[in-house]
A and B are shown apart, each in its own frame.
Chain A
Amino acid sequence: MPPTDMVVFDQIRRKDYRLGSVAVFLLVAMGVLMAGLWYVQIFSSSQYIESQRNQSMRTVRIPSVRGKIFDQHGRILAEDKPAYNLSAYLEELRPHFRKAWRENRPKRKLNAEESLQLQIQTRYQVVSNFISRARLNLPLGVNAGEIQQHFSELRALPLPVLKNLDPANVARFMELSDRIPGFDIQAWPTRHYPEISVAHLVGHLKKDNTSEEESTAYNYRLPDFRGMIGLEQTFDDKLRGQPGTRSMLVNHLGYRQSENLEVPTQPGSHVHLTLDLEIQKVAYDAMKASGHKAGAAVVMDVNNGDLIALTSMPVFDPNDFIPAINPQKWAQYRDARPSPLLFRATQERYPPGSIFKIISGLAALESGVVNTNNFMYNPGHYRLGRRNIDDTAPAGDYNFKKAFKYSSNTYFIHHGLSCGIEQIVQMGNQFFLGQRTGLLPRQEVAGQFPTLGEVRNGWRDGDTANIAIGQGRITVTPLQMGIMTAAVANGGRVFWPRLVARVEPADPDAFTDAMTFPQGRIRGQLRVTPRNLVAVQHAMWADVHEEGGTGKRAMIDDYAVCGKTGTAEIRGGGRRDKITWFSSYAPYKQPRYAVVIMIESGVSGGKTCAPIAKKIFEALRDRDRRSPRTPLANN
Chain B
Amino acid sequence: MENTLNPPQKPRPDWLLLAALGGLMIFGLTFVLSATQVNELFSGAPWYRQPFFKMIIFYAFGITAAGLLCLKDYYQIARYAFVGYWICIVMLVIVLIPGIGAVRYGARRWFDLGIMQFQPSELAKIAFLLALAQFLSRPRDELRQPDTLLKGIGLTLLPFGLILMEPDLGSSLMLLPAAFAMFYVAGVPAGFLKKVAGGMTCFIAACLIYVFFVPQAWKPVQLPDYQKRRLMVYFGIDYTTQYAKPNATPTELRRVKAMQRRDSYNVAQAMISVGSGGLTGKGWAQGIQNAHGYLPRGVSHNDFIFSVIAEESGFIGSAMVVVLYTGVFLCGIRVAGQARDRLGRLLAVGVVVMLFSHVFVNIGMNIRLVPVTGVPLPLLSYGGTSIVCSLLALGLLQNIQLHQRSI
- The answer to whether B349 touches A22, judged by C-beta atoms less than 8 angstroms apart, is yes
Per-residue interface assignment for chain B, residues 276 to 310, with 1 indicating a CB less than 8 Å from any chain A CB and 0 otherwise: 11110000000011011110000000000000001
Residue of A nearest to B329 (CB): A26
In the complex, how many angstroms separate the beta carbon of B311 from the nearest chain A beta carbon? 9
Per-residue interface assignment for chain B, residues 86 to 118, with 1 indicating a CB less than 8 Å from any chain A CB and 0 otherwise: 000000000000000000000000000000000
Known: A16-B337, A36-B364, A40-B271. A30 touches B325 (CB 8 A): yes
Known: A36-B369, A249-B288. A49 touches B294 (CB 8 A): no
Residue of A nearest to B184 (CB): A18
Residue of A nearest to B296 (CB): A252
* Chain B contacts for A26, CB-based, 8 A: 326, 329-330, 333, 352-353, 356
Number of interface residues of A (CB under 8 A): 42
- The answer to whether A56 touches B292, judged by C-beta atoms less than 8 angstroms apart, is yes
Q: Which of B68-101 contact A (CB under 8 A)?
A: none
In the complex, how many angstroms separate the beta carbon of B349 from the nearest chain A beta carbon? 6
* Chain B contacts for A249, CB-based, 8 A: 288, 292
Mark the stretch among B55-63, B312-320, B387-395 that contacts chain A. B312-320
Asked whether any CB of chain B lies closer than 8 Å to the CB of A7, the reply is: yes
Known: A7-B334, A19-B345, A38-B315. A29 touches B184 (CB 8 A): no
A264 to B336, CA, bound (A): 65
A30 to B277, CA, bound (A): 20
Asked whether any CB of chain A lies closer than 8 Å to the CB of B187, the reply is: yes
A20 to B288, CA, bound (A): 43
A4 to B294, CA, bound (A): 38
Asked whether any CB of chain B lies closer than 8 Å to the CB of A37, the reply is: yes
In the complex, how many angstroms separate the beta carbon of A10 from the nearest chain B beta carbon? 6
- The answer to whether A3 touches B330, judged by C-beta atoms less than 8 angstroms apart, is yes
Asked whether any CB of chain B lies closer than 8 Å to the CB of A571, the reply is: no
In the complex, how many angstroms separate the beta carbon of B137 from the nearest chain A beta carbon? 14
Asked whether any CB of chain A lies closer than 8 Å to the CB of B170, the reply is: no
- The answer to whether A36 touches B330, judged by C-beta atoms less than 8 angstroms apart, is no
Known: A42-B315, A249-B288. A33 touches B364 (CB 8 A): yes
Known: A14-B337, A49-B275, A56-B294. A22 touches B184 (CB 8 A): yes
In the complex, how many angstroms separate the beta carbon of B286 from the nearest chain A beta carbon? 11
Asked whether any CB of chain A lies closer than 8 Å to the CB of B210, the reply is: no
- The answer to whether B333 touches A41, judged by C-beta atoms less than 8 angstroms apart, is no
Q: Report the tally of A-B residue pairs with Cβ distances under 8 A.
A: 133
Asked whether any CB of chain A lies closer than 8 Å to the CB of B181, the reply is: yes
- The answer to whether B16 touches A3, judged by C-beta atoms less than 8 angstroms apart, is yes
Known: A30-B322, A249-B292, A251-B292. A40 touches B345 (CB 8 A): no
Known: A10-B337, A26-B330. A42 touches B369 (CB 8 A): no
Asked whether any CB of chain B lies closer than 8 Å to the CB of A516, the reply is: no
- The answer to whether B360 touches A33, judged by C-beta atoms less than 8 angstroms apart, is yes
- The answer to whether A41 touches B325, judged by C-beta atoms less than 8 angstroms apart, is no
Asked whether any CB of chain A lies closer than 8 Å to the CB of B272, the reply is: yes
- The answer to whether B272 touches A33, judged by C-beta atoms less than 8 angstroms apart, is no
Asked whether any CB of chain A lies closer than 8 Å to the CB of B155, the reply is: no
- The answer to whether B187 touches A18, judged by C-beta atoms less than 8 angstroms apart, is yes
- The answer to whether B276 touches A48, judged by C-beta atoms less than 8 angstroms apart, is yes
* Chain B contacts for A11, CB-based, 8 A: 333, 337
Residue of A nearest to B187 (CB): A18
A179 to B347, CA, bound (A): 66
- The answer to whether A19 touches B276, judged by C-beta atoms less than 8 angstroms apart, is no
A42 to B334, CA, bound (A): 33
* Chain B contacts for A252, CB-based, 8 A: 292-294
In the complex, how many angstroms separate the beta carbon of A527 from the nearest chain B beta carbon? 76
Asked whether any CB of chain A lies closer than 8 Å to the CB of B152, the reply is: no
* Chain B contacts for A104, CB-based, 8 A: none
Q: List 20 A-B contacts (CB under 8 A).
A: A3-B16, A3-B331, A3-B334, A10-B334, A10-B337, A11-B337, A19-B345, A22-B352, A30-B360, A33-B322, A33-B363, A33-B369, A34-B322, A40-B271, A41-B314, A41-B318, A45-B279, A49-B276, A249-B292, A257-B291
Q: Chain B interface (Cβ within 8 Å of chain A)?
A: 16, 181, 184-185, 187, 271-272, 274-279, 288-289, 291-294, 310, 314-315, 318-319, 322, 325-327, 329-331, 333-334, 336-337, 345, 349, 352-353, 356, 359-360, 363-364, 367, 369
Task: List 11 additional A-B contacts (Cβ < 8 Å) besides A34-B322, A37-B322, A47-B275.
Answer: A3-B327, A3-B330, A29-B360, A33-B322, A34-B319, A37-B367, A40-B271, A51-B272, A52-B272, A250-B292, A253-B293
- What are the nearest 8 A-B pairs in CB distance? A48-B275, A251-B292, A252-B293, A41-B315, A3-B330, A52-B276, A23-B333, A48-B276
